[in-house]
Amino acid sequence: MLRRIMGSITKQVPIPKNGVDYRGKIVLAPMVRSGECPSRLIALKYGADLVWGPETIDKAMIGTTRTFNEQTKTVDFSRLSSNGSKNPLINPDQKESIIYRLHPEREGKRLIYQIGTADPETAVEAASLVAKYVAGIDVNAGCPKPFSTTGGMGAALLKTPEKLCSILRALVKEVGEPNEIGISVKIRLLDTPEETQSLVRQLCATGITGLTLHCRTTPMRPRERAIRAQLKIVADTCHEAGVACLMNGDVTSRDEAYKLMEEYGVDGAMIATAAETNPSCFRAEADGGIASWEEAVKEYVKISMEVENRWGNTKYLLGQMIPGKQPAYKAMTRTKSYGELVEALGWGKEPELAELAKKTDEALEIGAFEKPKLTKAERKKLNKESAKLAAQSNETNGSQEGKEAAQVVGQKRSAETAELEMPADAAREMGPATVPEKASVLAV
């Protein structure tokens, strides 16, 4: 297929029936913690054309239970956390942790699922679980954080291009083609333009429909200015193969994105940090431009309650969205539930929000609905009982009863096998407005 750009004819790979063309799109970048369901929905509300979900490790998705939540209208992929499986006696009614949540009606075919992987087989297995709900699968080949690179994922794949290409080829053949969606990849700059161009050429030959270049090298951090000198050569290389090329790095608004796309010849642009601070950055000036932080915060909180977003995640995002010098920031940091938040931000007299906050707190069992916690003595007693039961099960010498007991009591999977935290936030630095949880940075 060919298309005409600025008077010239360029090649274009076919867009799959259930996929999406990345050309001309301003999209939400994949961000761990900042790319959860409510963040994506508010970005779409303010004009984002597409949204990338947060990088989700393939091993975390494999083995999850898929359910449709009638209350939130979301599709949830969940499982018991490794912490909860150590001793089920402590919390026999423990809810499964949500590994990935998407809203088919409100984001559906505008959602790109980004996967963290280092193996073609597990990549295909995990991607197949979500393929029918999304417009595409994107491979993270740019995250520089240790939780990703130590497993051979993220930016580590830039050093093993053949492995990266094998992953993409497998996804194209076994996930993309059967589900008729596109496969794409997100990378960073290599040390030289020649190395970057060579890698891009290899990647474009795998059958992908899109490639995003984060205009920073692996050692660089978000605070360092993006390097755009190689953008044009990367875009030209993508276009030779008919692959759409998106840019990422220091893009702050829709209007700026269009200017940069024209200047560097790329097909689309991702917005990351600016969207984390105020998602209305996706709205063009002609349509109203950037909304006040008050408006954006209220809309975000409302959406978070509608989808019953995890409280810690909502509070973290509010720490990015509310200016630190505002009285509302300090008031927000003291809250421990949606009900307290609505009161603290002065929305308590709005019946709709107050009632929604109450229902959400009840569903999440936080605030006034939080269950009593075990005392130290009670927890110690239950741990002893669990150890005793586990020892008794070991004495059954491998009988069926013993095997079944071992599956219930005292069993602990390795973190490498389970990877249930999607992905390990514990490796991140502390973020504003969070007490028990860790903050994250951009996934790529």
Q: Round to whole Å and give the CA distance between 142 and 212.
A: 10
Length of the chain counted residue by residue: 444
Geometric angle at alpha carbon 366, from 364 and 370, rounded to 5°: 110
Question: ∠434-437-439 over CA atoms, to 5°?
Answer: 75
Half-sphere exposure of 253 (CA within 13 A, CB side): 14
215 as an active site residue: the answer is: no
Distances (CA, A) of 437 to 19, 100, 178, 415: 36, 18, 39, 18
Q: Which of 157, 154, 233 is nearest to 197 (CA)?
A: 233
Distance CA 5, CA 431 (A): 44
Q: Is the dihedral of CA 236, 237, 242, 247 positive or negative?
A: negative
The three-class DSSP label of residue 286 is helix
Report helix, strand or coil for 140: strand
Tokens of 243: 């692959």
Residues 278 and 288 sit within 8 Å (Cβ to Cβ): no
Distances (CA, A) of 250 to 80, 183, 316, 413: 38, 25, 22, 40
Neighbours of 51 (CB within 10 A): 25
Within 10 Å of residue 392's Cβ, how many Cβ atoms? Answer: 12
Tokens of 398: 């491998």
- Catalytic residue among 37, 143, 238, 281, which? 143
* Residue 2 CB neighbours (<10 A): 8
Residues taking part in catalysis? 143
